[in-house]
Amino acid sequence: MTRHDLRHRGEATLRTVFGSAAQQAGLANLLTEAAYGGIWTRPELSVQDRLICSIAALGVGPRLKALRRHIGAGLDHGLTAEAIREILVQAGLYAGFSAAEETLELAGEMFAARGIQFPADPPEDASLEELDRRGAALMASLHGSRATQGYASPDNPVTGLLYPAAIRYGYGEIWSRPGLEIRQRALVAVACFTALRLPDQVAKFGQSALNIGLTKAQVLEAIIQTAPLTGFPPALNALGAISAAFTA
């Protein structure tokens, strides 16, 4: 494989994903060669899964120009408006709902431009007690013994000031909403935590992703997919953390 081969492959991938091989002046062939020729063409994740990871990573920034492009590509490659909404809502759980306010507004503009109705919010008819039960059950099934370790420890009086709300609204509400399969939500989590430079959370959710149908190779690719979008150093730190976790 030569650099010319990578560039040619990257240009083909750009046309497939975005409909054009055009790119920002000044980057030369860095995107074509390294990102689209070298990363996007790796076989472990589908184009749709790579777009899920990309939208998630860009959504926590938020990096609205690049996000606009990837939302458009997501719609072109089979992601529903509901799925894109859910990626951005889940990203807001990790980056702050202020980020979701911006990204959801952008998504709404793009849906409207394509004549797509913004999807209605899912019903919120569960009681607080039901949310707590549902959240605790989902968290336990996802994380197993790690569900009560570290800041998640139920007997920690400091983190206990906040973490019950994270269980209630993170797992009980957001992770339980329709629109994304649970394996897709795991991809969102891994990509978001990598972009946010939170390797401990990457390690936790990367291990848990194996419990719900993802392979180790797919977890690694979810991390790698973020590198051209939100930086190689955070992706390398995340790979280091997940490597240690998988080894352990």
C-alpha to C-alpha distance for 52 and 37, rounded to whole angstroms: 19
Q: Please give the structure tokens belonging to residue 12.
A: 């083909």
C-alpha to C-alpha distance for 197 and 167, rounded to whole angstroms: 21
Cis preceding linkage at 157, omega within 30: no
C-alpha to C-alpha distance for 203 and 143, rounded to whole angstroms: 11
pTM: 0.96
Q: Where are the domains of the chain?
A: 42-122+177-247, 128-172
Q: How sure is the predictor about 25, in pLDDT bands with cuts at 50, 70 and 90?
A: confident
**Lowest-confidence pick of 24-38, 73-87, 165-179:** 24-38
Q: Which residues make Cβ contacts (< 8 Å) with residue 29, sequence separation at least 6?
A: 3, 7, 10
Residue range 42-122+177-247 forms a domain whose CATH class is mainly alpha
pLDDT at 23: 82
For residue 13, how many other CB atoms are within 10 A of its CB? 21
* Helices 232-247, 199-209: inter-axial angle, 10-degree rounding: 50
pLDDT at 150: 86
For residue range 138-155, list pLDDT tens digits in order: 999 999 988 888 888 888
Q: Please give the structure tokens belonging to residue 247.
A: 């080894």
